[in-house]
Amino acid sequence: MEASQEINLLIDTVRRFVETEMIPHEDEIDRLGHVPEEIGRTIEAKSKELGLYACNLPEEVGGGGLGYGPMSLIEREYGKTSHALQSWAARPTELLMACEGDQREQYLLPAVRGEKRELFALTEPDAGSDVMGMKSNARRDGDDWILNGSKHFVSGPCMPDFAIVFAATGEDETPRGPRKRITAFLVDVGASGFVCRQGTRCVSYRGYNTYELHFDNVRLSSEKVLGEEGHGLELAGKWLGMGRIWVGATCCGKAERILSMATDWAANRKQFGKPIGAFQATGFRLADGAINLRAADLMVKDAVSRAENGSMSDADAAMVKVFCSEMLNNIADDAVQIFGGMGLMEEMPIQRFWRDSRLERIWDGTSEIQRHIITRSILRPLGA
């Protein structure tokens, strides 16, 4: 079978999986505000059966070994439904590939097999966009580290088994002044002094949980350092870059679904004896949505090919994140307008998509932070 046929088959499989195992539960989980364990575990089991669990990680560690191209198409399909459901079909963070020695048996391989779930814990109450403002810190005590601090808004579908926690482990002198050394640690839920509890509830992707993490003198052996001491941000950066492309892809999938609902409504809802789509003010919203979705899909495709040949920059990823998330928000908002009052009624899914879409401009770095990254890439070469 040709590679393109194989990819088409794979995408058909994911599409059917989303349609049969996820979309039918969307309204219920939005109303309940949580995903009933049975539904989550069924999605998890089915994704293993289909070979989709950990499909993003290399075959040599038991993953699906899919490249960036197929992964972007899979993320696009998953984007059509709620993150609260699709995240049960886990794609563990690629950061775990930095595991070495015993860490592979303790964290990487169980995550690939679906025996353990991880969290990515960077954000703190006083340090969101300003990552370097983090107060979480770890100090040496003999060969061990003692971790203190807290994190919030750290998200996942269910209570995790461990968290990848970023903390300051000292300060370096640089030409731009002192800079915190950030190190990534693998911290087990249940470790003495570590409290992980469910945090505040988000109105986007209801049922997708956020957690608060508190560390009170948590003793960690040196084997709990992920990657190299002081190189946590480089590690996080690798993951955040591709993460922003996956956000772009999910935005395209969701935008396609919203546009299709809005188009249906515009073709069937009649006012003044005509379908409302026949009024230019409505029809042009659909046209603009179609143009911008096409452009967003092409941006994702372009970034994927840059990532494949190793030339994707931080600014490339930031452009995709801003453009796709704002494209999605414009389409979601226009869809509410096309639906009129019905767009805001709980009986209709449009208000849910509108709420869900809003998060995409915030997590994985806000639109403002992405623009800051792009501006820096334009001005820095000029010394400004």
Residue linked to tokens 């539960």: 25
CB of 292 to ligand FAD, least distance (A): 22
Nearer to ligand FAD, 145 or 363 (CB): 363
CB of 154 to ligand FAD, least distance (A): 4
CB of 363 to ligand FAD, least distance (A): 4
Residues that bind ligand FAD (CB under 6 A): 120-123, 128-129, 153-155, 202, 210, 359, 362-366, 368-369, 372
CB of 144 to ligand FAD, least distance (A): 24
Query: What are 327's two structure tokens?
Result: 């494209």
Nearer to ligand FAD, 265 or 323 (CB): 323
Nearer to ligand FAD, 17 or 246 (CB): 246
CA distances from 371 to 100, 252, 374 (A): 35, 20, 5
Nearest CA-CA partner of 25 in 43, 47, 50: 43
Strand 137-141 relative to strand 177-188, pairing: unpaired
Residue linked to tokens 């770095």: 365
Nearer to ligand FAD, 58 or 128 (CB): 128
CB of 2 to ligand FAD, least distance (A): 38
Q: Which residues contact 47 (CB under 8 A, 6 or more apart)?
A: 17, 53, 88, 89, 90
Q: How many helices (H) and strands (E) does the chain have?
A: 12, 10
CB 153 within 8 A of CB 172: no
Nearer to ligand FAD, 63 or 365 (CB): 365
Residue 309 DSSP code:
T
In this structure, the chain runs to a length of 384
CB of 342 to ligand FAD, least distance (A): 27
b/e per residue 67-79 (b: at least 16 CB within 10 A) = ebebbbbbbbbbb
Query: What are 72's two structure tokens?
Result: 């972007």
E strand or H helix at 146, and its extent? strand 144-156
Nearer to ligand FAD, 121 or 249 (CB): 121
Nearer to ligand FAD, 71 or 122 (CB): 122
* DSSP SS3 for 291: helix
CB of 158 to ligand FAD, least distance (A): 13
State the Cα–Cα distance between residues 191 and 175, nearest whole angstrom.
38
Nearer to ligand FAD, 113 or 372 (CB): 372
CB 186 within 8 A of CB 226: yes
Chain residue whose CB lies nearest ligand FAD: 128
CB of 185 to ligand FAD, least distance (A): 14
